[in-house]
Chains A and B, each alone.
Chain A
Amino acid sequence: AQSVTQLGSHVSVSEGALVLLRCNYSSSVPPYLFWYVQYPNQGLQLLLKYTSAATLVKGINGFEAEFKKSETSFHLTKPSAHMSDAAEYFCAVSDPSGNTPLVFGKGTRLSVIA
């Protein structure tokens, strides 16, 4: 069975500050991992994904995430927050065999303060 834990339901940062959103996973097989972003009243949009290639993955809007097997983590970072980054962020894990649906975390709401 797979699961995802997102630490912190709400994170607040100042504009220009580092963004760090935490995700830890549990998986019995080498996982694929994803980060999605959701703006108000919109669907989820894929930010980036790890599919067993490079452990440091770069995504859209300046975000990146690093897969750390020893820590079972896939934290999302951005060096400098913009007001437009304020949204809900979801981490998700999948079984590469494709036999089970994606498992999503509960989400972290990011607020950016001017």
Chain B
Amino acid sequence: ETGVTQTPRHLVMGMTNKKSLKCEQHLGHNAMYWYKQSAKKPLELMFVYNFKEQTENNSVPSRFSPECPNSSHLFLHLHTLQPEDSALYLCASSQNAGSNGYTFGSGTRLTVV
């Protein structure tokens, strides 16, 4: 148990579907992150939330839409994805924007067909 829980663990969706990834942390952290990890590519930081406010959006396509209703929950809403969006999506949390490191969830393996 890492303290950061991601659901679902695996997701297969068509290009016209709408789905959401969920991340939950009970560590009392005040920052949460979405990362994309594709095969043979570096970790890509997608979104950062500090105290529920989005502070970073690294040129992510609008087909990815984050939501942070409170400091414990983070969602990634997906719609009209492309096959190249297939990847492992990792959620992480930290206290004070990461000066003591991040705690990661186990990830959601997304396949777009």
Question: A41-B109, A45-B2 are known contacts. Are A102 and B101 too (CB-CB below 8 A)?
Answer: yes
CA of A95 to CA of B99, assembled, Å: 6
The count of chain B contact residues (Cβ–Cβ below 8 Å) is 26
Q: Which of B4, B99, B103, B104 has the most CB of A within 10 A?
A: B99
Contact of A100 among B2, B90, B97, B107 (CB under 8 A): B97
Residues B100 and A107 in contact, CB atoms below 8 Å apart:
no
Cβ of A63 within 8 Å of any chain B Cβ, yes or no, is no
Question: Which of A92-114 touch B at CB < 8 Å?
Answer: 92, 94-102, 104-107
Question: Which of B57-96 touch A at CB < 8 Å?
Answer: 88, 90, 92, 94, 96
Residues A42 and B106 in contact, CB atoms below 8 Å apart:
yes
Contact of B107 among A41, A92, A101 (CB under 8 A): A41
Q: Which of A43, A105, A107 has the most CB of B within 10 A?
A: A43
CA of A2 to CA of B105, assembled, Å: 25
